[in-house]
Chains A and B, each alone.
Chain A
Amino acid sequence: MPDIKVTPLGAGQDVGRSCILVSIGGKNIMLDCGMHMGYNDDRRFPDFSYITQNGRLTEFLDCVIISHFHLDHCGALPYMSEMVGYDGPIYMTHPTKAICPILLEDFRKITVDKKGETNFFTSQMIKDCMKKVVPLNLHQTVQVDEELEIKAYYAGHVLGAAMVQIKVGSESVVYTGDYNMTPDRHLGAAWIDKCRPDLLISESTYATTIRDSKRCRERDFLKKVHETVERGGKVLIPVFALGRAQELCILLETFWERMNLKAPIYFSTGLTEKANHYYKLFITWTNQKIRKTFVQRNMFEFKHIKAFDRSYADNPGPMVVFATPGMLHAGQSLLIFKKWAGNEKNMVIMPGYCVQGTVGHKILNGQKKLEMEGRATVIIGTLDVKLQVEYMSFSAHADAKGIMQLIRMAEPRNMLLVHGEAKKMEFLKDKIEQEFSISCYMPANGETTSIVTNPSVPVDISLNLLKREMALGGPLPDAKRPRTMHGTLIMKDNSLRLVSPEQALKELGLSEHQLRFTCRVQLHDPHSDNDTLGRIYTHLKSVLKTYSIQHVPDGTVIVESIVIKVTSSAEEPNLKVILLSWSYQDEELGSFLSTLLKKGLPS
């Protein structure tokens, strides 16, 4: 039976890294290639030995698709393509292609330079990897090869995030990556058409949560900033240029305006240039509001928010500063942090995940004393962390309700949830199965799930054959009411054609042969041959009411194409020999008649 196979790579209950293998219609696709951020050793990379024990992956994979730039979805990509080895195409959206290398390089620097790791990809590897990338546009079907095609859909979540549809013939799979169903200030909500894939693959991580509203998260953020500024403290918000910075700036600006606040808000110049550049490039990926803002003026031209100068950090009094990089691992945000950390009136708000080894990660784990490194990682002193540390998550994810909405939109025939514990997901599985009458699978990492599909095989029918079928009458062809028909199927190259047998013979240059069967039945009947034939005719007419039966004057009875004759020998005139002859097409009826006549005639 044709099927689709899905294997999430990883081990056991491992969550935190996405790398899913899909086999469909003879093609192998890798969906995402994430790094596990919790491990320091080789466990952070997906286990590619499932694909092949040793050697390069190129011949085993038809393509790799990356859903978005978060490291748990693309962090292991350079490792896979350059260290394990893969030379085939890597698909991702344009914004992802632009942003991925920046994040990968930052990540590499932290891991190698700060933590001294050796088994890691190099800067050159990142560059070589990105050369293999083929960028995708939304809603555009891309032919990977003659049989495999893919299409990207908008996923929300972060700039450039996509859900992907993979299609081979009439079988298809949709992979969601990370997505969200509610729009926020700078991104829209995920959207997909009723594409009815055989399988929809999604994360189960947030499937059992009910998300607190965005408004409340923003409220919390404003409250913290306000409280700090009111008591004369300084607020540092380390941001990644393309993350929430834009959104938080808009939020603060409006709040400042409404509350008539005077404390200065700054953003570092590195932030503006980068952000402006990327938003300009990818304006179609943001939502309506942002586009309107952009069209009117420069995105970062605010009334209350000004460009930061290094010297301002020493100014007395309250202020708010947005600075890069987001994990406090280097650069301006770290410099400012060092200056402000010692004062308990101050606050640092971390708006997202921080990689192990960064100052961000340490303070989010409650560390109060940090070792400060100078050049060449020489420790030059300790820093007391007295300021208030706040961890605020603004990331947009779908929750239990969102998953149901997406299934309603796409109408898949089957559902598959990865990265969940089966016993903690039984309720969701029941819910999905009951509401949509589809099967819901939840494989453990490393486990392969086979989903049987029922693909339709499209066949071209010749016009003659079609006309002939139409002439037979009966109900018109209806998708819901299949009708059996006869023809000859010719499979040549990749095409399938249904033609009449005569045409097939002609095309193939074969001559037609007719098969006829003959059968003799002996019967005792004290009548003349003609009378016996007449009796046979009457008998058959009473039994075979729906068939065409003729009694021809030349001494034969014809049933459809079957010819019946009666003869007898001069020596035994009562021993009749009934001769039946039929063509191959009427074999069933012929057999039936011979069996029937063997039983004798009624008196």
Chain B
Amino acid sequence: MDISSDESDDWFIESLNTYKDLHVFQLEHPTKVIEWTGDKNICVAGYTGSRSEILELLLPLKLYAGENQGLCAERDFKVQHGGFSEEPIESLIHISGTRCVVTSGSSSSTLQIWDIGGDDSDVIKRTGVINLKSTSVKGCKIAPGLTDEPAVLHGSCISEVQLTEIATGRVLYTVAKESSDSVSGLQFVNACVFLICASDGTLFMGDTRDPSTCHYPLEDSKSGLHWAFGLRSDSSQSEPSGCTVARLSSSGHMLLSDLRNLQSPFCQTQLNVQHDASKNDFLNVSWAPVLDRCLSVSGFDGTVHIYNTINWSTEGQSPQPVFSHRGHEMSDEAKYSGSPPVVTTHSWHQSRPKTLLSAATDGSLHVWDWVDKITDR
């Protein structure tokens, strides 16, 4: 009759069984950031035009209706706050406990500080800048400090990494390492200890109480690969042990290391990925906040893969994902455009165990709650 039986329709019909919840949205401009600013709020920002919008969105209330989900018809995102940036936005972080976000762009030599705002206005206003030592085309990497006083850890290459206090612009800490390797990601493990992952896969661990840093290069580093990392912390911030670091290369090589022994990864495996992600910088690996030992991977194509690392071993075949979200490849927009969309970023919900958000190059934004075929039936 009317619905043509093509792959996309099949996928939607299949989704009745494979997803508990599925919401598909189309942003006006694609985003490569999804950052939580509250229990039910996220920030997204444009990166494709010279002028970009930053939006704070309220997630569909239907997801939070619990038992009364049936009576709640609210399936839409609500734009709660919006602002304009003069440059494409590469990274965006939220400072916990505040209404402040910091962004880094691809064209300026500053980090921008923003106030998302409260109930009295829906405009996101810029409140200040942090001057950087240099401009990086890929944007400076940033991470929130975990101390009481809001600070941001930033740097586009190792020697330029520093911790800056937001309110005053005071530099609290500088990495004393002469290295021009570019930074792929950085994150605080607790209030003082932080990790930097360089583009070539080398890990640096530092402590703001101690100027020196330790670095842990890869055992056999292949040139031309780009690495991204994801940090999983257990419970409290006091003890860095119990933290696992996952490193992912643009060819799908995955290393898992324990923070107590970053020299030797306790697990290495090769993921079965179709495409080489080295041409873009959308590589993303994240640990699930609730599900034990689960991580997610995206950036190779229009898919987000979820793996359970519990049975991973160093030898053997490449692991199979417990779930793959192919929604971005199956959208109507993807059908009509020339090139298939690539997932730009994804993020786990803080408390709902199997809910994720993902965004792609075609402007799509999905919220999905997947069914684990083994445990959920």
18 A-B contact pairs sorted by A residue (CB < 8 Å): A209-B76, A210-B365, A212-B24, A212-B76, A213-B23, A216-B22, A219-B16, A222-B16, A251-B3, A257-B1, A364-B71, A391-B72, A393-B73, A423-B121, A426-B123, A430-B84, A431-B82, A434-B84
Note all chain B residues with C-beta closer than 8 A to A43: none
A389 at the interface (CB under 8 A from B): yes
A253 at the interface (CB under 8 A from B): yes
Cβ 8 A contact of A430, one of B22, B78, B123, B332:
B123
Give the B interface residue count (CB, 8 A).
Answer: 41
Q: Which of B25-33, B193-201, B352-360 contacts A (4 or more CB under 8 A)?
A: B25-33
Most B Cβ at <10 Å: residue of A388, A427, A431: A427
Pairwise interchain contact B2-A185, C-beta atoms closer than 8 A: yes
B143 at the interface (CB under 8 A from A): no
B170 at the interface (CB under 8 A from A): no
Note all chain A residues with C-beta closer than 8 A to B1: 250, 253-254, 257, 293
Min Cβ gap A205→B in Å is 12
B260 at the interface (CB under 8 A from A): no
A392 at the interface (CB under 8 A from B): yes
Chain A residues numbered 438-477 whose CB sits less than 8 Å from any CB in chain B: none
A584 at the interface (CB under 8 A from B): no
Cβ 8 A contact of B12, one of A219, A426, A427:
A219
Note all chain A residues with C-beta closer than 8 A to B77: 209-210, 212
Note all chain A residues with C-beta closer than 8 A to B71: 364-366, 389-391
Pairwise interchain contact A212-B25, C-beta atoms closer than 8 A: yes
Note all chain B residues with C-beta closer than 8 A to A390: 70-71
Q: Which of A46-54, A374-382, A396-404 contacts B (4 or more CB under 8 A)?
A: A396-404
Instruction: Type the 1/0 row for B140-178, where 1 means its CB is closer than 8 Å to any CB of A.
Output: 000000000000000000000000000000000000000
Pairwise interchain contact B123-A427, C-beta atoms closer than 8 A: yes
Given A209-B76, A210-B27, A219-B16, also A427-B82 (CB < 8 A): yes
User: In the complex, what residue of chain B is closest to A223 when comparing beta carbons?
Assistant: B16
Given A390-B70, A391-B73, A427-B122, also A254-B25 (CB < 8 A): no
Pairwise interchain contact B79-A208, C-beta atoms closer than 8 A: yes
Query: Within the assembled complex, what's the spacing in Å between the Cα atoms of A369 and B347?
Result: 42
A424 at the interface (CB under 8 A from B): yes
Pairwise interchain contact A389-B70, C-beta atoms closer than 8 A: yes
Note all chain B residues with C-beta closer than 8 A to A226: 16
Note all chain A residues with C-beta closer than 8 A to B2: 185, 250, 254, 289, 293
Pairwise interchain contact B123-A393, C-beta atoms closer than 8 A: no
Pairwise interchain contact B75-A366, C-beta atoms closer than 8 A: no
Report which B residues bind A (CB closer than 8 A). 1-3, 5, 12-13, 15-16, 22-28, 51, 53, 57, 60, 68, 70-73, 75-84, 120-124, 332, 365
Note all chain B residues with C-beta closer than 8 A to A423: 120-122
User: In the complex, what residue of chain A is closest to B19 when comparing beta carbons?
Assistant: A219
Pairwise interchain contact A259-B81, C-beta atoms closer than 8 A: no
11 extra interface residue pairs, beta carbon distance < 8 Å, beyond A215-B332, A427-B81: A209-B76, A212-B77, A219-B15, A219-B16, A255-B13, A364-B71, A391-B70, A399-B76, A401-B27, A430-B123, A434-B84
Note all chain A residues with C-beta closer than 8 A to B73: 391-393
User: In the complex, what residue of chain B is closest to A389 when comparing beta carbons?
Assistant: B70
Query: Within the assembled complex, what's the spacing in Å between the Cα atoms of A213 and B76?
Result: 9
A217 at the interface (CB under 8 A from B): yes
A339 at the interface (CB under 8 A from B): no
Pairwise interchain contact A216-B23, C-beta atoms closer than 8 A: yes
A486 at the interface (CB under 8 A from B): no
Note all chain B residues with C-beta closer than 8 A to A293: 1-2
Cβ 8 A contact of B13, one of A209, A259, A391:
A259
Note all chain A residues with C-beta closer than 8 A to B26: 210, 213, 401
Given A212-B25, A212-B60, A216-B22, also A254-B3 (CB < 8 A): yes
Note all chain B residues with C-beta closer than 8 A to A216: 22-24, 75
A115 at the interface (CB under 8 A from B): no
Query: Within the assembled complex, what's the spacing in Å between the Cα atoms of A257 and B4?
Result: 12
Chain A residues numbered 544-598 whose CB sits less than 8 Å from any CB in chain B: none
Pairwise interchain contact A211-B76, C-beta atoms closer than 8 A: yes
Query: Within the assembled complex, what's the spacing in Å between the Cα atoms of A223 and B19?
Result: 10
A310 at the interface (CB under 8 A from B): no
User: In the complex, what residue of chain A is closest to B13 when comparing beta carbons?
Assistant: A258
Note all chain A residues with C-beta closer than 8 A to B53: 431
Most B Cβ at <10 Å: residue of A208, A217, A259: A208
Min Cβ gap A320→B in Å is 15
A407 at the interface (CB under 8 A from B): no
A299 at the interface (CB under 8 A from B): no
Cβ 8 A contact of A426, one of B51, B122, B332:
B122
Query: Within the assembled complex, what's the spacing in Å between the Cα atoms of A366 and B65?
Result: 13
Query: Within the assembled complex, what's the spacing in Å between the Cα atoms of A241 and B5?
Result: 28
Min Cβ gap A321→B in Å is 19
Chain A residues numbered 254-304 whose CB sits less than 8 Å from any CB in chain B: 254-255, 257-259, 289, 293
Note all chain B residues with C-beta closer than 8 A to A424: 122
Query: Within the assembled complex, what's the spacing in Å between the Cα atoms of A55 and B57?
Result: 48
A425 at the interface (CB under 8 A from B): yes
Min Cβ gap A105→B in Å is 27
Min Cβ gap B60→A in Å is 7
Min Cβ gap B22→A in Å is 5
Note all chain B residues with C-beta closer than 8 A to A253: 1
Query: Within the assembled complex, what's the spacing in Å between the Cα atoms of A253 and B71?
Result: 25
Query: Within the assembled complex, what's the spacing in Å between the Cα atoms of A258 and B73?
Result: 27
Pairwise interchain contact B122-A425, C-beta atoms closer than 8 A: yes
Query: Within the assembled complex, what's the spacing in Å between the Cα atoms of A209 and B122?
Result: 13
Query: Within the assembled complex, what's the spacing in Å between the Cα atoms of A217 and B13?
Result: 12
Rank and list the top 7 A-B pairs by shortest CB-CB distance, nearest first: A427-B82, A212-B75, A210-B77, A213-B24, A393-B73, A209-B76, A390-B70
Query: Within the assembled complex, what's the spacing in Å between the Cα atoms of A364 and B121?
Result: 32
Given A223-B16, A388-B70, also A208-B23 (CB < 8 A): no
Note all chain B residues with C-beta closer than 8 A to A219: 12, 15-16, 22
Pairwise interchain contact A212-B123, C-beta atoms closer than 8 A: no
Note all chain A residues with C-beta closer than 8 A to B16: 219, 222-223, 226
Note all chain B residues with C-beta closer than 8 A to A185: 2
Query: Within the assembled complex, what's the spacing in Å between the Cα atoms of A404 and B29?
Result: 13
Note all chain A residues with C-beta closer than 8 A to B51: 434
Note all chain A residues with C-beta closer than 8 A to B122: 208, 423-427
Min Cβ gap B70→A in Å is 4
User: In the complex, what residue of chain A is closest to B70 when comparing beta carbons?
Assistant: A390
Cβ 8 A contact of B25, one of A213, A391, A427:
A213
Note all chain B residues with C-beta closer than 8 A to A399: 76
Query: Within the assembled complex, what's the spacing in Å between the Cα atoms of A366 and B332?
Result: 36
Note all chain A residues with C-beta closer than 8 A to B25: 210-213
Query: Within the assembled complex, what's the spacing in Å between the Cα atoms of A169 and B80?
Result: 41
User: In the complex, what residue of chain B is closest to A394 when comparing beta carbons?
Assistant: B73
Note all chain A residues with C-beta closer than 8 A to B5: 258
Query: Within the assembled complex, what's the spacing in Å between the Cα atoms of A573 and B75?
Result: 104
Query: Within the assembled complex, what's the spacing in Å between the Cα atoms of A251 and B12?
Result: 13
Query: Within the assembled complex, what's the spacing in Å between the Cα atoms of A99 and B85?
Result: 48
User: In the complex, what residue of chain A is closest to B74 when comparing beta carbons?
Assistant: A393
Query: Within the assembled complex, what's the spacing in Å between the Cα atoms of A259 and B17?
Result: 12
